[in-house]
Amino acid sequence: MKMYKNRRKRKWWLGILISLCVVCGILAGWAGLTWDGPGSMGASQSREDRPWNLILVNKDYSIPEDYSVTLLELSNGEKVDERIYPKLQEMFDAARAQGIYPVVVAGYRTHDVQQKLLDNKILDYENEGYSRNEAEKLAKQWVAVPGTSEHELGIAVDINADTALCSSDALYSWLAENGYKYGFIYRYPQDKTDITGVINEPWHYRYVGVEAAKEINEQGICLEEYIENVYGTAG
């Protein structure tokens, strides 16, 4: 009799437990169905939804696979995204009016050309006697891994001085002081190498648009920091 009572008691508690589990399961299912991740909270925008001039490409963020660009050829054969051409021209005209003579020495690069550049740099180091591993490490300090170079976007340019007419130092100073007015930023400054992962490149200018460039210049930040400030997330 006692045994029977106990068993009944146990069954009663078991019933409550099962009911609780069912209720919990329904709640969990409901929660799962109505919450589809942090993306739905509106805190950050996905890379693809950002304006073309604010796409971030670096060692951590590769060029989107479906990225496409309409190119415009410059008089020396280099190519750039046609959307940056008017501001690039405006910047060069302003420079020339002040005795500074810039030349675009590298604009758009295909993935294959970027790969060749890297391979050649690795070979150079190997020829100097470095092991393959060491050569790769050293080469990657100078040449971006294909898919992570802004040159593959077509909205970055390497600018050198026409040294018959002005010095490189004069050009780099002029660009650092004035580039942002035309929407171009000094993309890899010396004091930001730990964030950009790229050594100081006073010749590499990246188009981000006048508004962003002004803000980046005023705040003394790099593109990675700007993107983080605006979108709350890197990349």
Q: Which amino acids are annotated catalytic? A: 201
Note whether 87 binds Zn ion by CB under 5 A: no
- Contact region with Zn ion (CB under 5 A), list: 28-36, 56-64, 81-89, 156-164: 156-164
Site string for Zn ion, 177-216 (x = CB under 5 A): ---------------------------x------------
Note whether 134 binds Zn ion by CB under 5 A: no
Whether 80 contacts 104, CB under 8 Å = yes
Closer residue to Zn ion, CB minimum distance, 87 or 204: 204
Measured CA to CA, the distance from residue 187 to residue 55 in angstroms comes to: 13
CB half-sphere exposure, 180, CA atoms < 13 A: 18
Note whether 124 binds Zn ion by CB under 5 A: no
To Zn ion, the closest distance from the beta carbon of 62 in angstroms equals 17
Binder of Zn ion out of 124, 126, 136, 158 (CB under 5 A): 158
Can you say how many angstroms the Cα of residue 32 is from the centroid of all Cα atoms in its chain?
33
Total residues at interface with Zn ion (CB under 5 A): 2
Closer residue to Zn ion, CB minimum distance, 44 or 197: 197
Residues that bind Zn ion (CB under 5 A): 158, 204
